[in-house]
Amino acid sequence: GLTGNKGWGPHWRNPEPKPEYDIVLIGGGGHGLATAHYLAKVHGLTNVAVLEKGYLGGGNVGRNTTIVRANYMLPGNSEFYSHSLKLWEGLEEDLNYNVMHSQRGIINLVHSDGQRDAFVRRANSMCGQGDDGAMLDRAGVEKLLPFLDFEQTRFPIYGGLYHKRGGTARHDAVAWGFARSASDRGVDLIQQCEVTGIDVENGVVKGVQTTKGPIRAKKVGMVAAGRSSQVAAMAGMRLPIESHVLQAFVTEGLKPCLDHVVTYGMGHFYISQSDKGGLVFGGDLDMYASYASRGNLPLVEHVAEAAMTLMPAIGKAKMLRSWGGVMDMSPDGSFIIDKTDIEGLFVNAGWCYGGFKATPASGHTFAHLLATGTPHPTTVRHRLDRFRTGRGIMDEEATGSQH
């Protein structure tokens, strides 16, 4: 298919590292690349390198189930994800890149009176924040999703919370779009360059050791998602993070049949259809700490059972692939964007299983912190010390089973 486009060049330069940069970012995933884009575009900082141990976009940014939404409830998360969704809505224009952002709407199914009360509260919070959230009754869900099993008695469908501006995006296009923009503006994106040490002298960061040699830096940002704890340990830090595997699944390509994202919290299951036609779905974590990027079979069975309970017709589709990614789970389910006690060393971590939707705002606010030394107004609550001070942001209801 590409033979007619011989004039296409690579999307980004492939430079060797310079001996020194103003800012080094550890991790060339969605968040690292977005940070590089906003550092260059908003703050005019281009003496920046993104160091990636594998290839750009080979981590969770290319492994997730692509759900983008702003339906969090608690102060802190609410304004941050609202900020992120607004950035998504202008992202294709900002990057001049088709990231296939599709606001097809997300429906969180309701299966009990208690759950309905909680969702009504959340819908009100979402509207109060300036986003959209509306309750559907059972007939309203049936009209939009007639193929669900409305006869099942284990978890009957009472209705749903409808977030119309939620949807999906093409995950690796997001990484590529940010990478091209950052590279075009002068940021060095260095692949196959693993950071193996962080140099700290008298409490001040001086640079990093890598498989391509030492690189000096005035500031270092750790943006390594599932590997955050390992990277922070290089600076002698112990992060409040546990790493777990999260699996996802895709069927063979089907004709368009599912034009929303649907979440089924009681079965811990969620599903959407990709533009290639595959039904993309997943469930919960594998529930043991691990750095493996493949999951276990009992979880596969659990997810398949949930799929069949909710949407029996899915049993006719063939499962094409399953895969896993390593999640940096924080104790309260919310992320950390902060300075550390080491001068010049910054941390961006704890995205759990929900960091794809955060990609633009994570980059935007982390760039703000790196450039100005002060937190962006939407991340003032996401401090590293909140687990010690007790100011956690326990937003599990808004994160669990939705991704």
Pull the structure tokens for residue 264.
């089924």
Pick between residue 1 and residue 11 the one whose CB is nearest to ligand FAD.
11
Does residue 226 touch ligand FAD according to CB under 6 A?
Answer: yes
403 touches ligand FAD (CB under 6 A): yes
Per CB under 6 A, 242 contacts ligand FAD = no
Distance between CA atoms of residues 79 and 85, nearest Å? 10
Nearest residue to 51 via CA among 202, 227, 171, 169: 227
Cβ-based nearer residue to ligand FAD, 357 or 376: 357
Pick 152 or 191: Cβ nearer ligand FAD: 191
Say whether residue 271 binds ligand FAD (CB under 6 A): no
Residues in the chain: 403
Check binding of 360 to ligand FAD (CB under 6 A): no
Fill in the per-residue mask, 248 to 267: x = in contact with ligand FAD (CB under 6 A), - = not in contact.
Answer: x-------------------
Q: How many other C-beta atoms are found inside a 10 Å radius of the C-beta of residue 102?
A: 18
Q: Which is nearer to ligand FAD, 50 or 123 (CB)?
A: 50
Shortest separation between residue 380's beta carbon and ligand FAD, angstroms: 21
Return the number of the residue (53 or 376) whose C-beta is nearest ligand FAD.
Answer: 53
Complex with ligand FAD: residue 21 or 154, whichever CB lies closer: 21
Report in angstroms how near the CB of residue 225 gets to ligand FAD at its nearest: 3
Which residue's Cβ has the minimum distance to ligand FAD?
A: 29
Among 141, 231, 285, 303, binds ligand FAD (CB under 6 A): 231
Q: Are 166 and 357 in contact (CB under 8 A)?
A: no
In the complex with ligand FAD, which residue's Cβ is closer, 63 or 219?
63
List 48, 51, 349, 369, residue binding ligand FAD (CB under 6 A): 51
| Shortest Å distance, C-beta 47 to ligand FAD | 19
Piece in contact with ligand FAD (CB under 6 A), picked from 41-49, 50-58, 337-345, 374-382: 50-58
**Two structure tokens written together for 227:** 């590997």
Closest CB 247 distance from ligand FAD, rounded Å: 6
Please give the residues from 168 up to 197 whose contact with ligand FAD meets the rule CB under 6 A. 194-195
- Enter the tokens of residue 13: 């330069």
Contact 159, 116 (CB under 8 A): yes
Stretch that binds ligand FAD, among 21-29, 72-80, 84-92, 134-142 (CB under 6 A): 21-29
Q: How far is the CB of 245 from ligand FAD (least distance, A)?
A: 8
- What tokens does 313 get? 């017709």
**61 belongs to the binding site for ligand FAD (CB under 6 A):** yes
Site string for ligand FAD, 321-340 (x = CB under 6 A): ----x---------------
Q: 66 vs 181, which CB is nearer to ligand FAD?
A: 66
The residues in 62-121 that bind ligand FAD, with binding defined as CB under 6 A, are 63-67
CB hemisphere CA count around 195 (13 angstroms): 31
Is 401 a binding residue for ligand FAD by CB under 6 A? The answer is no
* C-beta separation of 218 from 343 below 8 A: no
Residue 383 CB, shortest distance to ligand FAD, in Å, is 19
Of 215, 302, 310, 220, nearest to 262 (Cα)? Answer: 310
Identify which of residues 149 and 221 has a Cβ nearer to ligand FAD in the complex.
221
Q: Given the rule CB under 6 A, which residues bind ligand FAD?
A: 26-32, 51-54, 58-61, 63-67, 194-195, 223-227, 231, 246-248, 282, 325, 351, 353-357, 403
